[in-house]
Amino acid sequence: MAGQAQKTARLIATAVLNQFDAADKRKNVGQILDKFLQQTNDNSGVVSGRLLPRVVREKQRATDLVFGTTRNCTTIDAVIAKLADCPTERIPIKLLNIIRIGAYELIYCPQTAEYAIVNEAVKNAKTTSGSKQSGFVNAVLRQITRYIQNRQKPLTETDIKKTLPQTPSVGCEFERDILPDSKTSPADYFSAAFSLPRWLVADWLSEFSTELTRQICFASNRRAGIYIRPNRLKTTAQDLAEKFRQAGIDFEIIADQSMIKVKSPTLVTQLPGFAEGLFTVQDITASQTVRLLAPQPGWIILDLCAAPGTKTTQLAELTGDKAKIFATDIDSKRLKKVEENTARLGISSVSIVAYEHMDKAVEQNGPFDCVLLDVPCSNTGVLSRRPEVRYRIKPKSITELTKIQSRLLEAAATMVRPGGKICYSTCSIQEAENAELIKEFLQKNNDFKLESELLTLPSAQEPDCDGGYMALLVNSKPS
């Protein structure tokens, strides 16, 4: 392999984190990673044939390192400062990210040998910054290893203040206290252990129990599973599973037969059936919204915040491609994704409407049987997949988002026919964006009634899932 393709997973991860930090954590770290890996594909031209497994493995490792380090960054920085007596703000960013990745592997990847982690970190530092700096990296990581007593030990057998949790059952045990006391200050403990804002954890503790908050924290830092939704216009879960079985893909059909979890390290675009449009990647929780709506053939539907089209295409699939669906989004670049996805899946019932032309489309085609409103939100239910959100979300952010959500909901109310429905959804678990906002809407709009609502908390238990909320509102005004 040539050019960027020769880079190891750790070097790829370092490069991505350097770009992420340079953006002051305002960008989507997953998008930065995707662009970097796409450049690797374009430059190497080797993602095929006998080299594919090697490329896939390195990409999977790089993805794990990027997301794992980002999810746990505040905790990792605290370990570096406390155990190596080296505040991270004094370390040049290129060295710091090498150290962060090394510390992440030492703490959260016990299956990887210590010597391999430290040696490659030192090698990478020498390559990028010289021998003197590589010695510094070696010293910091060696100091951390000296304090590690057991890289993986059952949480029931450890002192919780000395143990950084890896999963709900095991953690990395240190020789000295690392975390606050969970009994006297649970908000401080969860915040420090899971790199989450203290105010956010305190909010969860006020809404949920301590145990549920613990589950949310673990789910927010889990390695999120890859779930796919078979395109029922072209296949079934059983037929798609047979294709995976023949290709040697490790998978599991979820109990209700509507989704498949992919367990093999692989590129989604390389899975059997992707190019033919046999499936879409979608989390279990996200898939519930449209299924609970149960759209019918013949409905006229407006998807008001459609990009990238995951729920739009699900509407088409569940209606047998026999509804009339209009999809729009304020982000024109992302709206193109809707068009790409409908084309790949072979869907003909979706019409893409530019946001500036939405009023005309509403006038010509409304009022609608249903408006799907998957609103912009805080993403607190998907912190595992969007790990950077934890570093920029503020209470003020949620206040501003609820204003946008309320405006969109009020607009949707004017577009629904009597007897029609608004399907409101978020990937947030904050009450202010969900049940509280819906309650306020209903108080102002007496013609609408709540038919059903569902809050799903993120879970690290199998099958794992993201968090989210949905509410079905019916226009009860006489026709």
User: If DSSP states are collapsed to H, E and C, what string results for 426-452?
Assistant: ECCCCHHHCHHHHHHHHHHCCCEEEEE
Question: Distance between CA atoms of 1 and 246, rounded to whole angstroms?
Answer: 29
Instruction: Say whether both 213 and 270 belong to one domain.
Output: no
Cα–Cα distance measured from residue 87 to residue 97, given in angstroms and rounded to the nearest whole number: 13
CATH of the domain at 165: 1.10.940.10
Which of 264, 281, 298 is the endpoint of a domain? Answer: 281
Instruction: Please check whether residues 417 and 428 belong to one and the same domain.
Output: yes
On whether both 401 and 365 belong to a single domain, the answer is yes
Residues 325, 253 share a domain: no
Give the number of other Cβ atoms within 10 Å of residue 160's Cβ: 20
Is 303 within 8 Å of 314 (Cβ atoms)? no
Of 152, 81, 140, 141, the residue nearest 115 (C-alpha): 141
Residues 6 or more apart whose CB falls under 8 angstroms from that of 433 comprise 375, 377, 378, 398, 401, 402, 405, 426, 469
Token pair for 159: 């002192």
Rounded-to-integer distance, Cα 190 and Cα 210, Å: 10
DSSP letters, 79-143, are: HHHHHS---GGGS-HHHHHHHHHHHHHHHH-TTS-HHHHHHHHHHHHHHHH-HHHHHHHHHHHHH
Q: Does 237 lie in the same domain as 124?
A: no
For residue 79, the enclosing domain spans 3-189
* Cβ atoms 398, 378 nearer than 8 A: yes
| pLDDT attached to residue 6 | 54
As a whole number of angstroms, the distance between CA 477 and CA 169 comes to: 52
How far is Cα 155 from Cα 163, in angstroms, rounded to an integer? 8
Within this chain, do residues 8 and 57 fall inside the same structural domain, yes or no?
yes
Side chain identity, residue 266: T
How many domains is the chain built from? 4
- Per-position pLDDT tens, the chain of length 479: 334 445 788 999 999 999 888 666 667 888 888 887 776 554 444 444 444 556 677 788 899 999 999 999 999 999 999 998 888 998 999 999 999 999 999 999 999 999 999 999 999 999 888 888 899 999 999 999 999 999 999 999 999 999 999 999 999 999 999 999 999 999 999 999 999 999 999 999 999 999 999 999 999 999 999 999 999 999 999 999 999 999 999 999 997 778 999 998 778 888 999 999 999 999 999 999 999 999 999 999 999 999 999 999 999 999 999 999 999 999 998 999 999 999 999 999 999 999 999 999 999 998 999 999 999 999 999 999 999 999 999 999 999 999 999 999 999 999 999 999 999 999 999 999 999 999 999 999 999 999 999 999 999 999 999 999 999 999 998 87
* Predicted local distance difference test score (pLDDT) of residue 60: 85
Cβ neighbours around 375 below 10 Å, total = 22
* Contact (Cβ atoms closer than 8 angstroms) between residue 458 and residue 219: yes
Closest listed residue to residue 295, CA positions, set 323, 268, 275, 273: 323
- For 40, the 3-state DSSP assignment is helix
Q: DSSP character for 313?
A: H
Q: Look-up: residue for tokens 């899975």? A: 271
**Residue 423's CATH number:** 3.40.50.150
Structure tokens at 271: 């899975």
Tokens of 177: 């206290």
Q: Are residues 114 and 231 in the same domain?
A: no
The answer to whether residues 324 and 365 touch, using CB atoms and an 8 Å cutoff, is yes
137, 230: one domain: no
| Closest to 142 measured CA to CA, from 93, 80, 73, 74 | 80
Residue 253: give its domain's CATH number.
3.30.70.1170
- Residue 4 Rama label (left phi>0; alpha psi -120 to 50; beta): alpha
Q: Answer yes or no: are the C-beta atoms of 114 and 106 closer than 8 Å.
A: yes
Cβ atoms of 351 and 290 closer than 8 Å: no
Identify whether residues 37 and 183 lie together within a single domain: yes
Residues 202 and 243 in one domain: no
Dig out the tokens for 351 from the structure. 């019409």
User: How far apart are alpha carbons 27 and 34 in whole angstroms?
Assistant: 12
CA distance 413 to 391: 34
For residue 312, the one-letter residue type is: T
Overall pTM > 0.85:
yes
168 shares its domain with 156:
yes
**Dihedrals phi, psi of 365, to nearest 5 degrees:** -120, -15
Helix axes 186-194, 73-83, angle to 10 degrees: 90
Strands 260-262, 279-281: parallel, antiparallel or unpaired by DSSP?
unpaired
Q: Provide, for the chain, the percentages of residues in helix, strand and coil under a 3-state DSSP scheme, each rounded to the nearest 5.
A: 50, 15, 30
Residues 433 and 471 in one domain: yes
What's the token pair of residue 54?
């090697």
